[in-house]
Amino acid sequence: MGFQESGNGEMGLSGIPLGGKNKYKRMDSEFLEEYDDVLQQQQKEDRSNSTKKYVLACAVFASLNNVLLGYDVGVMSGAIMFIKEDLKISEVKEEFLVGILSVVSILGSLCGGRTADIIGRKWTMALAAVVFQVGALIMTLAPSFTLLMIGRILAGVGIGFGGMISPIYIAEISPTVIRGTMTSFPEIFINFGILLGYVSNYVFSGLSPHINWRIMLAVGILPSVFIGFALFIIPESPRWLVMQNRVDEARSVLLKTIEDEKEVEERLVEIQQAAEFANTNKYEDKPVWRELLFPSPSLRRMLITGIGIQCFQQISGIDATVYYSPEIFEAAGFKNESNLLAATVAVGITKTIFILVAIFLIDKIGRKPLLYVSTIGMTVCLFGVGAALSLFGKGSFEIALVVLFVCGNVAFFSVGLGPVCWVLTSEIFPLKVRAQASALGAVGNRVCSGIIAMSFLSISRAITVSGTFFLFAGISSLAVVFVYSLVPETKGKSLEQIELIFQKGQERQGSEMELGDVEQLVQNKTDSTN
């Protein structure tokens, strides 16, 4: 065996040269460095996957309350036909029964904002589920219209609580890069609930009219039961924890939801600075309700944007399309009851499928482009429904056109205005007023939903169904102008960064902001109060 000489002339007994320049040692060192790099990369990927799964689980469980809202909207469109037959109610009572849930949910939304600030986001969701369960049970067993209304009022309060808090909770717990996708989940679950409601109508419609609508309503209790299990999995919002001076708990939650520990500390500093400003002595004498009644210029812009987009979501007629789709299809020429309900299932499937488009695109192309596509597409489809109903006879061609345009309307709604509306209102408000300001947006949404639901049949009798859809098309076209003029792009920005957009009155370029900008935000606020 030959011996190889090392750089300093020394040789090992086995022929392996010794010394500081040993090439084998260099190879071992390089191998170890590469192994460390691979190991670190693997650990980073594992942590990334773990945080994404955790946030996903939180978003799913927090969105369960929204299934209740969607299910009620979907199931009532069919159940109301059998309720009319069983309880012998008039058309006015029918409108009142359908629309009262949206109106009463205003109370839940208003109380929900304050409740979420007192007991936390997590337990507000729990309270919403309990209230809805009680209401749904009363509706299921109701022997009269009066008791049915009492149950529906309670269910509406529960839906009001749950509908406004879920997007806020998800926005506060999600990392910036996937916040839009995660905050879309409540709208996804609303669509899923609507589809379940339509399927329930179709499945149970063959039973006795005294029994079928009760079973339809009873099925809505099931989603709220799973919320009890969710409470053992999901954490409290880290931003609410900071507001309660529970910083260590907030850090623990952020470590589970953000993969980069450095970013965790940066976000925690941002949240603490925002919370410290919210709790300064200068603001202790100015409660949230006064700030909302007498807002600063930046908060006024936020309120106009948040409440405005919530109102446009409803006054463009989506709830009328969903609640009264059997009546719309009947006006187009449908005669068979089973075919009517089957067509509504097609609407529900379309609405649910297209919400997936928003999930994949909202954090890639942004909120505003989706709103443009949505509002313009809805305007065309709503006009198409009106034109099809007014220009053609009640034949198969008109039926096909109406079904096509109704499905197109709900598809475009699901792509943008449906989910983005809730994403925006959960993002744009400052920490101190976020829950209660978002509640005002939800109130605007529910008021408009109630007005549309309670007046659609009456307006349709006055100006025809086609005329009503022409009216919706005109409102939808105004939504396009609203989006262009007042809605900023919030993609890729932290909740604290978005506040700067409204404070400056213009959109901040780029998706990153230095810590000094947050300090500037606090300083600017402080100066504005002097």
Please write the tens of the pLDDT for every residue from 174-202: 887 788 788 878 878 887 887 888 888 88
Residues 6+ apart with CB under 8 A from 461: none
Range of 34-43, 49-58, 438-447, 481-490 with top mean pLDDT:
481-490
Q: Specify the 3-state DSSP secondary structure of 245.
A: coil
Judging by beta carbons within 10 Å of its beta carbon (0-12, 13-18, 19+), is residue 404 exposed, middle or buried?
middle
> What's the confidence (pLDDT) of residue 68?
78
Give residue 72's pLDDT band: very low, low, confident or very high (50, 70, 90). confident
- Condensed to tens digits (0 to 9), the pLDDT of residues 5-63 reads 444 444 544 454 555 555 555 556 666 666 566 666 666 666 667 788 888 888 888 88
> What's the confidence (pLDDT) of residue 43?
63
**C-alpha 203: how far from its chain's center?**
28
Q: What is the DSSP letter of 8?
A: T
Q: At what angle do helices 337-361 and 417-427 cross, to 10 degrees?
A: 50
Q: Which residue has the higher pLDDT, 16 or 119?
A: 119
DSSP code per residue over 141-186: H-SSHHHHHHHHHHHHHHHHHHHHHHHHHHHHHS-GGGHHHHHTHH
Q: Per-residue pLDDT averaged across 143-152, rounded?
A: 89
Q: Which of 75-89, 103-117, 334-348 has the lowest mean pLDDT?
A: 334-348
Q: Which residue has the higher pLDDT, 281 or 209?
A: 209
> What's the confidence (pLDDT) of residue 510?
38
Contact 172, 239 (CB under 8 A): yes
Both tokens assigned to 356:
């997936």
Q: Per-residue pLDDT averaged across 75-94, rounded?
A: 82
Q: Using the structure block, give the residue that is written with the tokens 């839009």.
A: 180
> What's the confidence (pLDDT) of residue 472?
94
Q: Which of 173-177, 215-219, 386-390 has the lowest mean pLDDT?
A: 173-177
DSSP code per residue over 483-520: HHHHPPP-TT--HHHHHHHHHHTSPPSSS---HHHHHH
Q: Per-residue pLDDT averaged across 70-76, rounded?
A: 80
Q: Per-residue pLDDT averaged across 360-379, rounded?
A: 90
Is pLDDT of 514 > 90? Answer: no
Is pLDDT of 140 > 60? Answer: yes
Q: Specify the 3-state DSSP secondary structure of 88.
A: coil
Distances (CA, A) of 498 to 160, 359, 425, 491: 26, 21, 12, 9
> What's the confidence (pLDDT) of residue 413?
93
Q: Which residue has the higher pLDDT, 478 or 438?
A: 478
> What's the confidence (pLDDT) of residue 284?
47
> What's the confidence (pLDDT) of residue 164?
76
Q: What is the DSSP letter of 286?
A: S
**End-to-end CA separation in angstroms for the chain:** 88
Percent of the chain clearing pLDDT 70 (strictly above): 82
Q: Per-residue pLDDT averaged across 315-339, rounded?
A: 79
> What's the confidence (pLDDT) of residue 468?
92
Residues 6+ apart with CB under 8 A from 222: none
- Condensed to tens digits (0 to 9), the pLDDT of residues 345-367 reads 888 888 888 888 888 888 888 88
> What's the confidence (pLDDT) of residue 411?
92
Distances (CA, A) of 161 to 89, 121, 357: 29, 10, 27
CB atoms within 10 A of CB 236: 20
Q: Which of 154-163, 215-224, 383-392, 514-523 has the lowest mean pLDDT?
A: 514-523
Q: What is the CA radius of gyration of the chain?
A: 28
**C-alpha 27: how far from its chain's center?**
54
How far is residue 205's CA from residue 212's CA, in Å, rounded to a whole number?
6
Mean per-residue pLDDT of the chain:
79
Q: Which residue has the higher pLDDT, 238 or 7?
A: 238
How far is residue 508's CA from residue 498's CA, in Å, rounded to a whole number?
8
How far is residue 176's CA from residue 503's CA, in Å, rounded to a whole number?
20
